[in-house]
Structure 1
Amino acid sequence: MVLIHIGLFFGFVSILRYTSATNCLKNLTSGTSCVAMTTTSCLGASVSFTHTYLGFANDSSTLAEVDEKLTLWSGLKAAPKCWEVIQPFLCSVYLPKCDNVAGKVEYPSKEMCEKTRDPCSIVAHINGWPWFLECEQSHFLDNCVEHTYEDDVSFNKTGQCNSPLVRTDNQQSWYEEVEGCGIQCQNPLFTEAEHDQVHTFIAVFGSFCIICTLFTILTFLIDWKNANKYPALILFFINICFFLGSIGWMAQFSGDARTDIVCKADGTIRKGEPGSGETASCVVVFIMVYYFLMAGVVWFVMLAYAWHLTFKALGTPKDALANKTSYFHIASWSIPLVLTIVCIAVSEVDGDSLSGICFVGAFNNAYRGGFVLAPIGLVLVVGLFFLCLVLRTLIKLKKDTPEYISLKASAKIKETIIRLGIFTVLAFTFVLITFSVHLYIFTNEQSWQDSFKQYLYCEANVTVTKTVSNTTTLTCSMSNRPSVAAYMIHIFAFFGAGISMSSWSWTKASLLSWERFFRKIFRKPSNKPIKLKKHKIIAKAFEKRKEINNGRLSISFASTHDDPLGMKFDLNSMSSQNSMSSDFRAAMPKLVRRRGGMFHPTAGTLRRYSDSDVGSVASKMASRRQSLDSQISACAGQLPWRLMLTEVDVLVGGQDVAVITLKGVVPPLTGIELAMEKNSMEAVSITSYSHQNSLDAATLPEPPKHLQTNFAIFTASAYMGEMQSKLQNIESTDKSEIEEPPPEAS
């Protein structure tokens, strides 16, 4: 029953609507008449009537003028959505149907007029609607039942967008009032030649940045044990960030990747990604460039802060960065991640044909300022603050304590001050470039857009004028365009920052690392000995002093090589000495044996070895020539200790290397092996070799002539020819007298 009432209600409404409808045919006013048509078409559409009326359009009084005006209006083909609805409207005004027999004319429909207002808003913005085409005029009738041009005439509604606009049905891509057209993918503010120029610029400096950052990354990797230390390691992560960011820039040069990255399938520029339903290449490139750019600048702050703590703690035994490095990673990787996720969530990733990448806020200055300029500006302030503190610390150190630091350390401090000063200036310059270019863009962007709009209007008028006058000499140009040089400088700021970060590894220490690496690869000997510092030996032994209770303490010094930055230096000139004096060798056993000094005494053992113990051993060895073979045989025969013959993996860069084995010496010999064997008596064997294939140049002093303590110190002789023959004798030694070490001693 309810459904019946609803049906009756809508039927009644329809009847009322039909009865209130107006017949569009009205009698001609006095003094007017129908005019015979010279053509049977309007805007290319065929009509069935033969007479028309010229009283509605007051800008034309003849059919020739009507034809000319309609040709001018045909310029709206460049606005496809407008062209679809305005054709029947214009024809109903300029060429209405007129019944010459009945003396009646078909008035235009007001609904038809109002239908053109939104799609054809470009008309109102350019010159405005003529008064006779305003929907409030009396010749537009409401509620026409039917109209000839709407019901009986078929128009070609296909529009054509004028370059640089392209046809698209995606409403988000429409250019302002030109519905149905969007801006082409290639930025019309720049010429094709300028696009090629910028792409070449990116290819050159992007490749150079990749090469430089990759060199730094590999320099760290080939000498990882030396380079794996903060704050130098922070530059490793910064270079990784700029390397991956540069990969994102260079992705556009892979085939037709640039078109896929910055363009939609309909030929318009990408806007508001993700969410357009296109491929993910734009978002992937955005993440590569934006995330690693932000990570790099946050790591820059961590680097400046780490340098500040490190240089402030120079001359002190504490580790200034202890328990802080994990926070460096949390901040440097999570903050950029949050910014990247927010940019993607608000769909503010846009393509840019000039740079060939997708970035945040290409068409929205507010997002560009909030997600790019604000973080970089904050980084600049904080980073430069810590860099200034670092420079102040180093300058004060060099100026106030010249008598307490060595000449070598003083020279390195001066070098570091210069390098940090240049680095600070470069960092400030690159950020200043970024802000300057964005300020230039923000202040001039509106004038560029206005110039582009006038260019589009000019192109539309020229198209119509060429059609009317049949001429091809008219051209249009933009009066105000951005400078391509400013954009190139802005792009260089990214690659320049990456190159400057890589330049920290352009040091002699890096070259030496590569030299050692290639010598290992090609099995070439090196003539540069490793120089050991005694304070490092003591520190390393003290660090593992508790292990002596297990019966053996084995210490391997990875290297004394500098890190790739070349910023290791000791302030104390005495600590910088590279050899052990005879006094140090004499005092070394007492230092190691001192109760609780180097290692804790064995539980339940209170006896200390007296001078008689030492003298007993010394008297037995004093009568013998203390050559290398006599020391080895005496120690093996008279002490409750057996010669340990170990073999360690051969590595590069001063790492743990092979030592004497039953088969001789395994080249290349580098580093040192400090082994302590504790039983009824202790013995320390310090064996050091130059890192080379042969034993032709020993670096440590000769063994002492007399044994003064309960330790036998064995060192390589400077006469390596003699030593090689002695090592050959070791091979022939009765293996039954030599005890193999346990597996854990290796």
Structure 2
Amino acid sequence: MAPRYVMYSVYLLPVIIVLTVKGEAATLRTCEPIRVELCWGLGYNVTGMPNLVGHEIQGDADFTLQTFSPLIQYGCSAQLHFFLCSVYVPMCTEKVASPIGPCRRLCESVRARCYPVLQGFGFPWPAALNCSKFPVENNHEHMCMEGPGEVGVGQRTGLVPSDAATPAVSRIPSVPRTSSVAPCSRYVRHNRYVYVNRTRRCNPLCDADVLFESPDKYLAEVWLSVWAGLCFISSLIAVLTFLVDSGGGQARFRYPERPLAFLALCYNLASVGWGVRAAAGRTAVACSPDTQNPSRLLLSQDGHINANCAVVFLLLYYFGTAAAVWWVVLTMSWFMAAALRWTHERIQQHSSLFHLAGWGLPATQTIAVLVLQDVDADELTGACYVGNQDSKSLLMFVLAPQFLYLVLGASLLLVGFLALFRRRPRPVKITTAAGRRDGKADKLEMVTVRLGVFGVLYTVPTTCVVASLFYEYWSRDEWLMVSSVPRYQPRPSLWIFLLRLFMSLVVGVTAAVWVWSPKTLRAWRRLFYRLGPYKQPPVKCHPIQYYAPPPQTLSSHQRSQHGHKPHRKHRKHGSETTV
């Protein structure tokens, strides 16, 4: 089937030939591509200014057309969309001096159906759309377009009846006002959506720029790749450090420090999810074929996902949620050590409950998302998550849980710090035989302070992530839907989304800092000597013999200082007895 503009050129050819044969000098007209999104896909792609109401630029026409969006959404006439565009963005050809607008029959048909609706709301019929201004019929003197006809009056195909004695230019079809377009007209860029009968929702096209432009997406991908790579390296070092220090039989990182290991593991695997997204590519992860038209790709929505999308979702959502839960476990164990003064052994007794919460709660949330089929793709990053296209899912599965975990962890930190300030416990003084103080109490206090600082620093990026999620939840409908004030159509701030990506990975980037110490360096050195080509030489041990000095060498003064009693000699029966 030939493209529509080719068909329209064929339709216009007889009229242009007539004008040329008669010798009528036609003033050349400059045509330009249509930049008004509301009028894309109507059968012609070029227009000329000024239009039929005197607008000099397309921006003014676009502003005026936006005021008719509520009336278009109401659906009073199936030809209203085409009629408005033919007036404000008329068809243009360089062979015809005047713009080609609507015929009077089209205007009267739309007015008969939509004027009662305007009267009901107290609005008059616009003077700029006075039907007497338009040609009565299409001919070689006054060219006009009759429109697609009203649905239900025999024009379901978008063409005028065959008995209409008009040239073919009046048969310019518009976008069929069927269920695949009309339900999506409430969106600002409705021409970039497809109505899916299976889900009864408007699904954006895979490569459509709905909220963000192509440069924004490229910047986000580079930004995300850098921080995800740093997060992977740093968190991997932290996890390996925990494993190395645990290989000697007694783990150096015990409760309340132990949850740091699982927190680093969660960030490491979440960064792997971003790596899978970058390796597979945006289209392979975020896009799925349309069931109604397999040659067309749509942004994944409502669980209609592919294998790559499922893997990315599981890594990002499960381990991202698990990181939040393990942070709460970390604050809980810190509270037990700092405020309740529990020992490592006593906290260790509750480790099974910690693992049940740390891995069980994220698993429950992930299963719920999969059962409800709320997995969808993000337009900016091309990654699969939940709530990217549905505000209710964003609130239920992302914003509310993250906010709950943040409040719970921050409360434990606050109560723990208050307990430390009110009651500073005296360190237990344990002295050795040499008279030196044991440092176990000081070490426990130092660990408690370090974990408290880490908990506070973790709270800052988590708060930023929750705030950005609330920003998206609160403003998404305003970004997507047609605004009641056409001059002010809000748009999302790219830097807020980039800040969210950074804050969601910064804890993993700094994970290696919290496990670094001289003991860590010695542990890695021992591992290097054990696994490397150069083994550490064995240490030779020699027995040490201690010899007591003979008593004869000590003077009487020295013997008195060492507590030795002087020897007394007794003679008995001629023999000498030494005592």
Q: Normalising to structure 2: TM-score of the pair?
A: 0.59
Which amino acid is 1:309 matched to? M
Counting only pairs closer than 5 Å after superposition, residues 357-396 of structure 1 correspond to structure 2 as: 357-391=383-417
- Judged with a 3 Å threshold, the aligned counterparts in structure 2 of structure 1 residues 170 and 269 are, in CA distance, closer, same or farther, namely same
1:191 to 202, 213, 217: 213
How far has the Cα of 1:314 moved from its partner?
5.3
Q: Distance in 2 between matches of 1:141 and 1:380?
A: 56
How far has the Cα of 1:204 moved from its partner?
1.0
Contact 1:313 1:320 survives alignment (8 Å): no
2:283 equivalent to 1:234:
no
2:286 equivalent to 1:262:
yes
Structure-2 residue corresponding to 1:489? 499
- Judged with a 3 Å threshold, the aligned counterparts in structure 2 of structure 1 residues 509 and 163 are, in CA distance, closer, same or farther, namely same
Stretch of structure 1 that moved more, 212-221 or 380-389:
380-389
2:306 equivalent to 1:306:
no
Structure-2 residue corresponding to 1:272? 301
Larger RCO, structure (CA 8 Å, separation 6 or more): 2
Structure-2 residue corresponding to 1:348? 374
Which amino acid is 1:220 matched to? F
How far has the Cα of 1:312 moved from its partner?
5.8
Structure-1 residue corresponding to 2:223? 201
Could you say what secondary structure the match of 2:522 adopts?
A: helix
2:461 to 430, 436, 442: 430
2:292 equivalent to 1:282:
no
Counting only pairs closer than 5 Å after superposition, residues 307-322 of structure 1 correspond to structure 2 as: 307-311=334-338, 319-322=345-348
2:346 equivalent to 1:326:
no
Structure-1 residue corresponding to 2:277? 252
Structure-2 residue corresponding to 1:503? 513
Q: Distance in 2 between matches of 1:452 and 1:495?
A: 35
2:110 to 128, 133, 156: 133
2:479 equivalent to 1:448:
yes
Q: Distance in 2 between matches of 1:195 and 1:83?
A: 30
Deviations 1:178-233 (A, max 9, x none): xxx94453544333222222211111110010001111111222333333854443
Q: Distance in 2 between matches of 1:171 and 1:452?
A: 26
Q: Distance in 1 between matches of 2:424 and 2:545?
A: 38
Structure-2 residue corresponding to 1:212? 234
Structure-2 residue corresponding to 1:610? none
How far has the Cα of 1:243 moved from its partner?
1.0
How far has the Cα of 1:44 moved from its partner?
6.3
How far has the Cα of 1:293 moved from its partner?
0.8
How far has the Cα of 1:258 moved from its partner?
1.5
Q: Distance in 2 between matches of 1:428 and 1:131?
A: 64
Contact 2:239 2:261 survives alignment (8 Å): yes
Q: Distance in 2 between matches of 1:263 and 1:150?
A: 40
Deviations 1:542-584 (A, max 9, x none): xxxxxxxxxxxxxxxxxxxxxxxxxxxxxxxxxxxxxxxxxxx
Q: Distance in 1 between matches of 2:382 and 2:154?
A: 55
How far has the Cα of 1:395 moved from its partner?
5.9
Contact 2:302 2:374 survives alignment (8 Å): yes
- Judged with a 3 Å threshold, the aligned counterparts in structure 2 of structure 1 residues 244 and 144 are, in CA distance, closer, same or farther, namely closer
Could you say what secondary structure the match of 1:359 adopts?
A: strand
Could you say what secondary structure the match of 2:301 adopts?
A: coil
How far has the Cα of 1:125 moved from its partner?
9.6
2:489 equivalent to 1:512:
no
Contact 1:189 1:481 survives alignment (8 Å): yes
- Judged with a 3 Å threshold, the aligned counterparts in structure 2 of structure 1 residues 136 and 77 are, in CA distance, closer, same or farther, namely closer
2:538 to 689, 693, 701: 693
Deviations 1:38-74 (A, max 9, x none): xxx9966869x99xxxxxxxxxxxxxxxxx9xx999x
Contact 1:394 1:417 survives alignment (8 Å): no
Q: Normalising to structure 1: TM-score of the pair?
A: 0.47
Q: Distance in 1 between matches of 2:161 and 2:193?
A: 25
Deviations 1:429-467 (A, max 9, x none): 112101222233344434433579999xx9xxxxxxxxx
Q: Distance in 2 between matches of 1:445 and 1:354?
A: 14
Could you say what secondary structure the match of 1:355 adopts?
A: coil
Q: Distance in 1 between matches of 2:43 and 2:297?
A: 21
Q: Distance in 2 between matches of 1:517 and 1:489?
A: 38
Which amino acid is 1:273 matched to? D
Which amino acid is 1:263 matched to? C
Identity within the alignment, %: 21
Could you say what secondary structure the match of 2:347 adopts?
A: coil
Which amino acid is 1:284 matched to? V
Stretch of structure 1 that moved more, 363-372 or 513-522:
363-372
Contact 1:198 1:488 survives alignment (8 Å): yes
Q: Distance in 1 between matches of 2:199 and 2:396?
A: 24
Could you say what secondary structure the match of 1:226 adopts?
A: coil
Could you say what secondary structure the match of 1:320 adopts?
A: helix
Stretch of structure 1 that moved more, 303-312 or 508-517:
303-312
Higher Rg of the two aligned structures? 1
Q: Distance in 1 between matches of 2:485 and 2:210?
A: 13
How far has the Cα of 1:516 moved from its partner?
0.9
How far has the Cα of 1:131 moved from its partner?
4.4
RMSD: 5.2
Contact 1:166 1:182 survives alignment (8 Å): yes
Q: Distance in 2 between matches of 1:452 and 1:142?
A: 28
How far has the Cα of 1:480 moved from its partner?
4.3
How far has the Cα of 1:400 moved from its partner?
3.2
- Judged with a 3 Å threshold, the aligned counterparts in structure 2 of structure 1 residues 312 and 268 are, in CA distance, closer, same or farther, namely same
How far has the Cα of 1:322 moved from its partner?
4.6
Could you say what secondary structure the match of 1:264 adopts?
A: strand
- Judged with a 3 Å threshold, the aligned counterparts in structure 2 of structure 1 residues 152 and 263 are, in CA distance, closer, same or farther, namely farther
Q: Distance in 2 between matches of 1:145 and 1:208?
A: 63
Contact 1:164 1:183 survives alignment (8 Å): no
- Judged with a 3 Å threshold, the aligned counterparts in structure 2 of structure 1 residues 348 and 429 are, in CA distance, closer, same or farther, namely same
Figure out how many residues of one structure are paired with residues of the other and give that number: 421
2:337 equivalent to 1:337:
no
Contact 2:231 2:508 survives alignment (8 Å): yes
Which amino acid is 1:245 matched to? A
Contact 2:231 2:271 survives alignment (8 Å): yes
Q: Distance in 2 between matches of 1:453 and 1:196?
A: 31
Which amino acid is 1:258 matched to? R
Could you say what secondary structure the match of 1:321 adopts?
A: helix
Q: Distance in 2 between matches of 1:415 and 1:323?
A: 22
Could you say what secondary structure the match of 1:363 adopts?
A: coil
Q: Distance in 2 between matches of 1:366 and 1:141?
A: 37
Could you say what secondary structure the match of 2:377 adopts?
A: strand
How far has the Cα of 1:377 moved from its partner?
1.5
Structure-1 residue corresponding to 2:470? 439
Q: Distance in 1 between matches of 2:81 and 2:392?
A: 27
Which amino acid is 1:206 matched to? A
In the alignment, structure 2 segments of 5+ residues that lack a partner are 1-5, 16-28, 45-74, 89-105, 115-135, 137-148, 182-187, 290-294, 432-436, 549-579
How far has the Cα of 1:290 moved from its partner?
0.6
Contact 2:192 2:210 survives alignment (8 Å): no
Q: Distance in 2 between matches of 1:208 and 1:359?
A: 21
How far has the Cα of 1:500 moved from its partner?
4.0
